[in-house]
Amino acid sequence: MAARVPAAELNQHRSSPFAASHCHRPRACFPFLTPLSSLKPPSLLASSLSPLLLLVLAGDAAPQAPLRVASRTPRRTEESNRIICRAAEVQGAGGGARRRREPLRRGAVSARLPVPDHIPRPPYVGADAMPDVCPDRQVHDGESIMRMLDACELAARVLQYAGTLVKPAVTTDEIDRAVHQMIVDAGAYPSPLGYGGFPKSVCTSVNECTCHGIPDSRELQDGDIINIDVTVYLNGYHGDTSRTYFCGDVDEPTKQLVKVTEECMMRGISACRHGASFKDIGQRISEHASKYGYGIDPFVGHGVGRIFHCEPIIWSTYDYEPGFMVAGQTFTIEPTLSMGSTQCVLWDDGWTAVAADGSLSAQFEHTVLVTRDGVEILTGSP
């Protein structure tokens, strides 16, 4: 799941393949936000699910103290509704082989699923307030690396299974139930459940939903794409991974978006090694995305281990996170690419972020371990 840092102003610089963007919400709904112009990068963390939603820095400014996202959920404005309703029209215009589709509509959200009492919970469970993101950068010893590997291998198996469920007429709520059951059967806890009040065990982001989609009663349609984001908490450690899947017959432009997004993730991973700059990750991702004209959505990777979200922040864009990688560090790399605008609208559930112009988005994510010789993907295919 991603982390998010809210931006105080909505009139920031235009998004590009080289700059993180922001989500629009009514200005009156942001009384708790701190202007980013007064902050410095080392502590850019604020909580959220695997995609912490990072909103753009104003100009060249950078953050100086950890930001915390308040738990209040703003209402969606009339203008936001109109933006979302135009989604199908915008996406279909000038697309050639791109098919027309209906804009994403929310379905009914079922009750939170129970977790057996004997399964250990992460510390944030039971408090609906968004947890602060830890400023520490976790470095693991041999024993904790093995525990991380166990959690990540389980997350990879669960994600692989979830992908087999993606078919027309299947609901995202059904996927959530299956994922939840597989995780608890393994003696683990589904990390998103109860994180800052998140009501489900997995994130399911369909079509123009950029991130943090809440599973509900909507049925998947032929031609949809869906990102499934799985995080498990096993033996005191979190393993975090996601992938975008095709539902039925998907058109060629959409297939290319998904393919390039996965390539961007792998290019970012290839930059990792002991002593390398964190900036190298975003540079490689940005260079590849820009070749195809895709925008990079406002979501970032994050440190992960005993703590769900901690530093370092892993940007998918140029020139943000300072510092260098150290052998034994674990973090996620999770670029989100868009066919159109990288601006998004946050639904009034406080989580679901959708592209303001209805553009399709795709995302891939792995948890990686920095080694002396390079990098190891902990959530690789089982």
Q: Which residues are annotated as a binding site for a divalent metal cation?
A: 229, 240, 302, 334, 365
Amino acid present at 245: Y
Residue numbers belonging to the annotated binding site: 212, 229, 240, 302, 309, 334, 365
Measured between alpha carbons, how far is 250 from 227 in angstroms, rounded to an integer? 14
Across the beta sheet with 353-355, what order do the strands follow? 23-24, 344-346, 353-355, 209-211
Residues 6+ apart with CB under 8 A from 182: 157, 158, 161
Residues 6+ apart with CB under 8 A from 114: none
Amino acid present at 62: A
Residue numbers belonging to the annotated binding site for substrate: 212, 309
Measured at the CA of 382, the angle between CA 49 and CA 283, to 5 degrees, comes to 55
Measured between alpha carbons, how far is 87 from 360 in angstroms, rounded to an integer? 9
Compute the Cα dihedral for 270, 42, 326, 134 and give only its sign.
negative
Asked if residue 312 has a cis previous peptide bond (ω within 30° of 0), the answer is: yes
Quick one: three-class SS letters along 81-103? Answer: HHHHHCHHHHHHCCCCCCCCCCC
Measured between alpha carbons, how far is 54 from 331 in angstroms, rounded to an integer? 16
Phi, psi (degrees; rounded to nearest 5) at 270: -65, -15
Measured between alpha carbons, how far is 352 from 191 in angstroms, rounded to an integer? 17
- Six token digits for residue 233: 């908490």
